Chains A and B, each alone.
Chain A
Amino acid sequence: MSDIVLKTENLGISFGGLKAVDNVNIEIKRKQLYGLVGPNGAGKTTVFNLLTGVYQPTTGCFYLNGEKLTGKTQEQINHKGIARTFQNIRLFNNMSVIRNVMVGLHNQPEFKCNPFVSLFRLPRHFKTEKAMREKAKEILRIFDLEDERNNLACNLPYGKQRKLEIARALATNPKLLLLDEPAAGMNPYETEDLMKIIRHIRDEFDLTILLIEHDMKFVSGLCDEITVLNFGTVLAQGKTEEALNNPEVIKAYIGE
């Protein structure tokens, strides 16, 4: 089996005449922490939207572990093993913390439960509910959110909401996790903590992680390879330090 988890081939999308993402080729190896950086509006989140089926690419395609996922729906892509978080947090705000994670567990085969079984509250219903609750607690523990489990998601402080989003995505049992600005709005202490958590879940769950981030310390601290996007095209690619020191990249960020 090849070691490449995600491979994109000439991935691109146009909105009207505007090429929002054009000709992006990325290869990410198993258990790699890979960064996607670039100035605002470079098309980073659009790449995430392409990889999760929110948009269908106008050119090119992408593969997860060699399987072509282009053209599949959002939920199919999630079943195949790609989960994500959102730049503007999109938790289920009026649900408790633990229920958010349990929604993530929805499709895990071991928790499948026929609605009729639940409706008549048969013993199997309580067994799966309990197992689900335990599993959700276990995931929350990793993010140090177990004590918050009965609070409403919208009442969590910002940093914890970001962590809960990762927990919810992790609950869908992905092979590839896409994190959209996971450290945005966090203080330096929280950022440090988040880096540890990301490394931990990578090892614990055998994950491959692609992340978008503006905090370059965060990126160089975590990612060994990055792709730099600008105006939808790849500006530089490769080892983090080299790519960040590429004159083109410096020009794109701070101008001439």
Chain B
Amino acid sequence: MSTIFDGLSLGAIYALIALGYTMVYGIAKMLNFAHGDIIMVGAYAILTTLAAGGHIGLALVVAVVTCVIFGIVIEKVAYKPLRGASPLAVLITAIGVSYFLQSIAQIIFGAKAQTVTVATFGTVSIGTAEISISSIITLIVGAVIMAGLTLFVKNTRTGRAMLAVSEDRGAAQLMGINVNRIIMITFAIGSALAACASIFYLMQIPSTEPTLGSMPGIKAFTAAVIGGIGSIPGAMIGGVLLGVIEKICLSIPVLAPYTTAVEFAMLILILLVRPIGLLGKKRREKV
């Protein structure tokens, strides 16, 4: 019971990050491998604010603002000049940005892991299970954010423009949509979600280091691919699925050391059966 709960909340964190990958892929048609490092940026923003005596609420706001600024600046400086370039060039650039962010963090904050005590919540017992309150908060807030995003994309002017650009950039442009602006908004939203993910992540593992973003970044990317990259509900389902499986594996002593292997094996299995991911859209090839 508590395993499932922890899994769901870890899944919510993965899902929040996976949304950033999937939205940027869907709309800008690129894999932003620096996205994981935005979580690290958020974590250090929280660390700095708390160290300066700031409240946890303030820390969250600072993290969101910092991450959004980073997201927008990275897009403007690193990716925008490469629009229309080969996808491989953009991919390499994204990996470069990722190392750049990690190095900058290492210069400023040092390579050693630092403890960040976000808040200490206890546990509540429901029946026989002990469930940590931070898991419950993560799960609820994560669900609210994702529901909000779904509504935003479906029922707002900007959201519809995002969907239109992801379906047919050329046609969207000819309908008068400023594609650069939409891509910028997408990066901003993705980064804001990553900032939220970073605070939840710190609630579970209260420590940060320059490479903090790598593993959750890769896991979330896996989640996005499992769900079908480009699909928003797919990223949510993929994230939750991965989180639950991770926690279940960790709770079984025999499997625990192989948790990561199990997760990636699942990715391979799903892609073998459904190469487009669970909710991915088939690309119709015109002959």
Contact = CB atoms under 8 A, between A and B. Distances in A.
A238 B26 CA distance: 47
Interface string A55-83: 00000000000000000011100110001
Contact of B168 (A73, A78, A92, A172): A92
Interface string A83-113: 1101000111111000100111011000111
A106 B174 contact: no
Contacts of A171: 175
What does DSSP make chain B's interface, helix, strand, loop or mixed? helix
Given A95-B163, A103-B161, A118-B158, A83 B168 contact: no
B173 interface: yes
A52 B174 contact: yes
A103 B158 CA distance: 9
Given A92-B168, A99-B160, A106 B175 contact: yes
B156 A113 contact: yes
A186 interface: no
B170 interface: yes
A128 interface: yes
A254 interface: no
Interface in B159-175: 159-161, 163-164, 167-168, 170-175
B127 interface: no
A102 B175 contact: no
A115 interface: yes
A172 B175 contact: yes
Interface in A99-143: 99, 102-104, 106-107, 111-113, 115, 118-119, 121, 125, 128-129, 132
A80 to B, nearest CB: 10
B30 interface: no
A19 to B, nearest CB: 24
Contacts of A119: 148, 152, 156
Contacts of A128: 157
Interface stretch (B69-77, B177-185, B259-267): B177-185
A117 to B, nearest CB: 9
B230 to A, nearest CB: 11
Contacts of B151: 121
Nearest to B163: A95
A54 interface: yes
Contacts of B177: 75, 103, 106-107
A129 B159 CA distance: 12
Interface string B29-66: 00000000000000000000000000000000000000
B175 A132 contact: no
Contacts of B128: none
B86 interface: no
Given A54-B174, A118-B152, A90 B157 contact: no
B175 A54 contact: no
Nearest to B172: A103
Contact of B175 (A93, A104, A112, A129): A104
A7 interface: no
Given A93-B167, A94-B167, A115 B156 contact: yes
A54 B170 contact: yes
24 contacts: A73-B173, A75-B174, A75-B177, A78-B176, A83-B174, A86-B171, A92-B163, A92-B171, A94-B163, A95-B163, A99-B160, A103-B161, A103-B163, A103-B175, A103-B177, A107-B176, A113-B156, A113-B158, A115-B156, A115-B185, A119-B152, A125-B156, A129-B157, A172-B176
Given A104-B176, A118-B159, A129-B157, 10 more contacts: A54-B170, A75-B177, A75-B178, A75-B179, A92-B167, A95-B163, A106-B160, A106-B161, A113-B158, A169-B175
Closest 5 CB pairs of A and B: A78-B176, A118-B156, A90-B171, A74-B173, A107-B176
